[in-house]
Amino acid sequence: MKPTKIGITCYPTVGGSGVIATELGKLLAEHGYEVHFITSNVPFRLNRVYPNIYYHEVEVNHYPVFQYPPYDLALANKMAEVVEREGIDILHVHYAMPHAICAILAKEMVSHDLKIVTTLHGTDITVLGVDSSLKRMIRFGIEKSDRVTAVSESLVHQTKDMLQVERDMDVVYNFVDEREYRKHDVSHLREEYGISSHEKVLIHISNFRKVKRVQDVILAFEQVAAKVDAKLLLVGDGPEYSAICQLVQEKGLRDRVLFLGKQENVSELLSLADLKLLLSEKESFGLVLLEAMSCGVPCIGTNIGGIPEVIGHGKSGFIAEVGDVDQIASYALQILQDDELSSTFITNGLQRVQNEFHSATIREHYESIYKELLQQR
Ligand code: GMT
């Protein structure tokens, strides 16, 4: 039997949406699908040769007459070309803007009944969806896709409210590759980072944008470090990085905070940690929380977006209000000072990953969507 052919478009460089799109492509390929990535660069998680996975680069013409290089149109053209030539059955695009709109344009250009699945990841709705120069276009992309999925219940509600979209959307949660996201033996790293055996380790991983409120991580850590011997690992880079370095300096925490910058082997760093903090003011899911739970790390997150759907409050960690640094510090101290509570959270977190977010369950959910669409042809 001919394999089902899936085209995938995502932002290939960094970010959770690109990670999910690439990991899904890899899982689908392992399960007999033929997967074609149509992106501007090789997705960064596509780090070796995978049989059944093909990569098609979108090349943009820099003709001097163009004031702005026409990336969106080049993508639509490439999608149509690859879909027609390879006989792609379904284009699964991650992040509505501009990918859903490009896919709709590509569908108009090809001769067979191409189906489009759009997965909403968050900022494509919560940030771009309020921009009046884009809102109508994003709504159009959502309405004209054959199926739309969102990575949390919260994101479905926000999409309906903010864009006045009526259509049904499926919640398909994010997942991690459990083979990679597990507790590693990292005693050597502890030594290399100069973390002594009695010290607790807190970790924050993000792109250091304002929305992540990394300052709250530092302010909560200041209170924690006054009560327990602890180190904070900061992983990632972004616009707020220098302001955070300065805050750490001002608070006299320079020898307690390790700035690790962008890192590839995040599961090893998570394996060092006793607590994960994600204190954002916007977060449709918070993939890093799932990565932490899968590596056996309790989490504290904020009461916004999809975070409460990922962390069960009082089960695998705690949920605090955005900016409530005192509450966050108090929760952190509870976890760090009570081994029984911590190990209950770890066990519950691992179970949650298994029961709610297992990669096989999520892959099967996407596969069922593809199958339903193909039956409509
Ligand atoms: O804003 C980011 O952190 C990047 C963005 C992306 O496009 O990767 O992340 C969004 O998608 C992730 C994967 O579904 C989610 O885990 C993040 O919560 C979401 N970010 C926001 O909603 C701010």
- The per-residue pLDDT for range 153-191, each reduced to its tens digit, is 999 999 999 999 999 999 999 999 999 999 999 999 999
pLDDT at residue 238 is higher than 80: yes
CA gap 377, 271 in Å, rounded = 47
CATH for 5-175+358-375, options being 3.40.1390.20, 3.40.50.2000, 1.20.120.420, 2.60.130.10: 3.40.50.2000
Cα-to-centroid distance, 280 and ligand 1 (Å): 11
Work out the pLDDT band at 48, boundaries 50, 70, 90. confident
pLDDT at residue 127 is higher than 90: no
Its pTM stands at 0.95
What are the strands, taking DSSP E only, across the chain? 5-9, 34-39, 53-57, 90-94, 115-120, 147-150, 170-171, 200-205, 230-235, 257-261, 275-278, 299-302, 317-320
Six token digits for residue 180: 């990679």
179 CB-near residues (< 8 Å, 6+ apart): none
Average pLDDT over residues 272-278: 98
pLDDT at residue 121 is higher than 80: yes
Under DSSP, is residue 96 helix (H, G, I), strand (E, B) or coil?
coil
Distances (CA, A) of 348 to 121, 197, 275, 306, 341: 26, 25, 14, 18, 11
Cα-to-centroid distance, 25 and ligand 1 (Å): 18
Ligand 1: residues with CB < 6 A are: 15-17, 20, 95, 121-123, 126, 151, 174, 207, 211, 282-287, 305
Task: Return the CATH number of the domain spanning residue range 187-356.
Answer: 3.40.50.2000
Cα-to-centroid distance, 120 and ligand 1 (Å): 10
ipTM rounded to 2 decimals: 0.96
Q: What's the confidence (pLDDT) of residue 47?
A: 81
208 CB-near residues (< 8 Å, 6+ apart): 214, 236, 237, 238, 239, 240, 241, 244
Cα-to-centroid distance, 18 and ligand 1 (Å): 9
Residue closest by Cα to atom 9 of ligand 1:
16
CA gap 233, 244 in Å, rounded = 13
pLDDT at residue 14 is higher than 80: no
Answer whether 194's CB lies under 8 Å from 255's CB.
no
Cα-to-centroid distance, 354 and ligand 1 (Å): 22
Sign, Cα dihedral of 296, 297, 302, 305: negative
Q: Tell me the one-letter amino acid at 339.
A: D
pLDDT digits (tens, 9 = 90+) for 311-349: 999 999 999 999 999 999 999 999 999 999 999 999 999
Which of 130, 211, 285 for a ligand 1 pocket mutation test, highest count of atoms within 8 Å of Cβ?
A: 285
Residue closest by Cα to atom 21 of ligand 1:
283
Q: What's the confidence (pLDDT) of residue 142?
A: 96
In the chain, which segments carry CATH 3.40.50.2000?
5-175+358-375, 187-356
Q: Which atom of ligand 1 is nearest to the CA of 17?
A: 8
Distances (CA, A) of 5 to 34, 82, 124, 218, 371: 5, 11, 26, 47, 12
Q: Which atom of ligand 1 is nearest to the CA of 287?
A: 16
Cα-to-centroid distance, 16 and ligand 1 (Å): 5
Which of 284, 309, 310, 311 for a ligand 1 pocket mutation test, highest count of atoms within 8 Å of Cβ?
A: 284
112 CB-near residues (< 8 Å, 6+ apart): 84, 87
Cα-to-centroid distance, 211 and ligand 1 (Å): 11
